[in-house]
Amino acid sequence: MKSTDESSRIGRPLAENPSQHGATATPQQRCLACDEPMVSEASWVFRCGACNFMISTLSPGAGRGVAGLESLRLRNFETVLDRIAELLPTGASDLQQCGGAHLLEVGCAKGWFLKCASLRGMRAEGLEPDIEDTALVRNLNVRVGSFPEALDPDARYRVIVFNDVFEHLPDPVQAIAEVERRLEPGGLAVLNLPSSDGVICRAARPLNRLGLAGPYERLWQKGMASPHITCFNPGNLRSFVKRHTELQPVYAGALPAVSRRGLWKRISSAYPRATSVALFPLAWCASFGLGLCPSDIQLAIFQKAQSPNGDSEPPSAPSAALGKFRTAFPNDQAEPV
């Protein structure tokens, strides 16, 4: 259950006080990242004037995947796993040397990421509320249910991953706090999610103000079963995590948002045929330049501090000291062909 039209829910009632959690945005709501006032971006979207964090009033829900994304997703997943390998305590370039680190993917959908992680020697576990998707991954370790209710009370993980899921959660504050609690000392929280700094988002916002709402609504998945509830950029995402947890940022980068492989299938599954025929050549041509522009997908990794009693080995470079933060936006957004 994840995006582009896929999501995962944490399965708890929405907070009664929307000023503290991201359940229902109102003009009076304070920003979840910096606590500044929110202003109206659209009738159903509010934006922080200080840090540009955005939140919608759309109703969260379960969703189904979009066709044509497998090639792009698999390439991005390999990049995500490469970064995890670099940041795990062994510093190994091959996850098979990481001692079978225990990984949880929240909203694992068809299990593509779990398969990639398992091939690298990780003890990969998935959590998926969508029973139809779960039926497709019977050969993998997948639990049916929501985060964190479906997990064992004492379950802890070396790595917790959200691939195109975190932006769908109705209560991101509660979710990130639970991630911190569930991580082992030195563990990694991995967020692969949209970025409001991306070129497509930046183009869609002024078009929406001019009355051309289609691209903006599509970015938020408005009218779909699984709309986006929040939208972060790299800066306000770090502020959000810092404000609500003690997790430390150790990596920020970008991932490609568009691949020419599967592009027609992706477009034709989302639009009527006539619209798809018109959009496809434009999207194909644009794809050659998107790799040079700010990507609409960001990858952020945060690390939990080591236990004071030393029950976990200290991580080696590049994360030897928490707060040694690495960015790699220019190198990580090349278009996969």
Going by pLDDT thresholds of 50, 70 and 90, the confidence category of residue 329 is low
pLDDT higher for 303 or 1?
Answer: 303
pLDDT higher for 144 or 54?
Answer: 54
DSSP run (H or E) holding 157:
strand 157-163
pTM listed for this prediction: 0.81
pLDDT of 321 reads 38
Neighbouring CB atoms inside 10 A of 320's CB total 11
Q: How many CA atoms lie within 13 A of 166 on its CB side?
A: 30
C-alpha of 314 from chain center:
27
Tokens (6 digits) for 259: 């691949």
pLDDT higher for 332 or 268?
Answer: 268
| Burial of residue 30 (number of CB atoms within 10 Å: 0-12, 13-18, 19+) | middle
Name, of 86-90, 98-102, 233-237, 329-333, the range with top average pLDDT.
Answer: 233-237
Determine the 3-state secondary structure of 77 from DSSP.
helix
CB 227 within 8 A of CB 220: yes
Residue 156 has pLDDT above 60, yes or no: yes
> In this structure, which amino acid lies at residue 93?
S
Domains in the chain: how many in total? 1
Task: Please report, for the domain that includes residue 17, its CATH number.
Answer: 3.40.50.150
Q: Which residues 6+ apart lie within 8 Å of 284 measured at CB?
A: 260, 263
Going by pLDDT thresholds of 50, 70 and 90, the confidence category of residue 133 is low
Selection from 128, 205, 200 nearest residue 163 by Cα: 128
Backbone angles phi, psi at 186, to 5 degrees: 80, 0
The least confident of 41-50, 78-87, 95-104, 248-257 is: 95-104
Q: What is the pLDDT of residues 279-298, one digit of tens each?
A: 657 765 765 666 677 899 99
CB 297 within 8 A of CB 255: yes
pLDDT of 86 reads 92
CB 2 within 8 A of CB 65: yes
Quote the DSSP letter at residue 22: S
Domain limits for position 239: 1-337
CB 170 within 8 A of CB 18: no
